[in-house]
Structure 1
Amino acid sequence: MLACTGPAALLAPEAQSLGRRTQAWQQQRRSRCARRIICQAQTNDNSPAAPASRRAALSLLAAAPAAAALAAAAPLPAAAAEAAAEVDTTVTHRLFLDVGVCPEAVRTDRRLGDKTPFCGDPAPLGRIVVDLYGKAAPGSVATLVAAAQAGAYASTSITKVLPGRFLLLGTQGPKRSGLVQAPPGLPESNPDLLSSAAFRLPHRRPGTVSLNLSENEDDDFFRFDPKYRNLSLLITTGPGPVPSLDGENIVIGQVSEGLEVVTAITQVPTFTPNDNARAFNQFAKFIGDERAEKTARKWGRPLQAVVITNCGLL
């Protein structure tokens, strides 16, 4: 953790001698690390009774440029705001997601061969309606529309909930686990992935919906398939922006109805590691331990099943 947020003087002399490209990459990695930690650090106990390691970490975070920038909540730079203003956000489709919640994450009475992992009658939370920007991200919206029309998201679960940041849905996997199975007939390619214009819109408002690239949790088994199409969606929860997602994901729409449902989802209890586990994981990730990413995937898992009971186009 200290390596993630410490000043450049703490880096090894060999790292200081690297080229500009490597130094920029290291700075970006430290900044991302600081942004991910600062939200929880602001709510941690910083009293004299707190562990010395936590107080030291918080003092470094307070001095880190990334933490200061996040605390200031600066508006979009003029150039970025101008680029976003040029994007055509005409609404071409309206997607609905009906959401319910079960009292437990999985059914305890499931029998061998039963492909229904959730309770039979989820308590309804409400409907989320998303206005899709078919002109700003035509390839991504076309893929999403085809998947929604085929019912790919129905009877699947929201796999991660991070209050104050975002929630995830559309992770691909077996239906018996409540994951999405890509239907046949999806577009053969998504040209948005190769277009810089598709990444212009920021994640500034609660309810911003984007094609999830940076936080995608699809297994490599699916990603390496030549017919793989990304169906993972990310919805920001608010109340503030999530600048760490800007330029990393393709914004495809905005929640126009049902923000209260998004807020209700954030109230569902989730698996949350303690501070020591987070610190060790951040250090392991910084040194390149592949187990860190696998462990972090479990964070934010709802302890009750949040189910998309139905989906489609209005």
Structure 2
Amino acid sequence: MSERESAFVLVTGMSGAGRSTAAKALEDLGWFVIDNLPPGLLFAMAEEAGRAKLAADKVAAVVDVRSLAFTSDLNSAIEELEGRGVGVRVVFLEASDEELVRRFENVRRPHPLQSDGRLVDGIARERGILREVRANADLVIDTSNLNVHELRGKIVAFFGGEDRPGLRVNVVSFGYKYGLPVDADMVVDCRFLPNPHWVPELRPMNGLDAPVREYVLNQAGAKELLDAYDEMFAIIASGYTREGKSYATLAVGCTGGKHRSVAMAEQIGGRLRDRGGMEVQVSHRDVGRE
């Protein structure tokens, strides 16, 4: 699907992961958004939007898992839309079990699939139902460490300028000791490089500081990794574009997410920008976390 083709956006994901915040952000951007729409009504909504002369690439629906036939209904609805010439992009909002439990407990509400069981039982059941949807989503956003303003910023960054060309790439540095980003499409491991943590004068700094950056980039293998990944990602990006994937998250990791991964993520992001044809954002998930 080219960036000029009409597209209908479906926002779904885990209960408590921020669907309502995403919907409000899209509305603020001028999108026509329907919340809590059953999958079986998606095509009817698209038809109504067409009669109202709404731009197809500014229409979104938020769907959740409360329909017991959610997966089959949603897949059928997507097939029907695409069969009628409307490209569909699925945005999946994710969060860790621990964070979802915390959010539900804060608002003192049960999980919609909890029934008479525990909160964690409802979350586990929902994950099982959504597994296929998540696997086929065009964009996965992990909201575990995002507040509502940061999530809104991500939505604005992804959907605020639909006339912008090419693939949109989020390069994020992280620390393995805090876990891999669940929304990563690709992972680059920098732990083979010597760790600036063991250099006393570099330990308080991070990979955005020039002394750390120079230390990391001057290590054996650093430039070779950057060169190799530069070439490899060009191939991957071309394939993503052919397959209609609009967004990609590249995670760059080291042990603590403070030194090596930060420096290398900045370099990878810069090289991707220099290639052109894609929009690149660089963020650092775990800087300041230690």
- The TM tier, using the shorter chain, reads under 0.3
